[in-house]
């Protein structure tokens, strides 16, 4: 997953600096959203959330 997120930055770093900066925010938001979704799925699959309540 990290390689897929980093690939556009590696390809656009020298020639397209404006595009590179424009890709950073969406990639960061997508990465955080995926991490939150994954943590929720793992937590709900193991009934971790029901143990907290």
- Mean pLDDT is lowest, of 6-10, 38-42, 45-49, for 45-49
CA–CA dist 42, 52 (Å, integer): 14
* Of 21, 20, 22, nearest in space to 8 by CA: 20
Mean pLDDT of 36-47: 82
Residue 14 phi, psi (nearest 5) = -90, -40
Averaged confidence pLDDT in the chain: 78
HEC assignment per residue over 13-53 = CCCCHHHHHHHHHHHHHHHHHHHHHHHHHHHHHCCHHHHHC
Range of the structural domain that residue 30 is part of? 2-52
The tally of domains found in the chain comes to 1
pLDDT at res. 51: 64
């Amino acid at each position: 997953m990290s390689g897929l997120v980093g690939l556009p930055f590696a390809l656009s770093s020298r020639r397209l600096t404006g595009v590179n900066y424009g890709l950073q925010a969406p990639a960061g938001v997508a990465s955080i959203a995926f991490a939150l979704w994954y943590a929720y799925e793992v937590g709900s699959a193991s009934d971790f959330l029901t143990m907290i309540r």
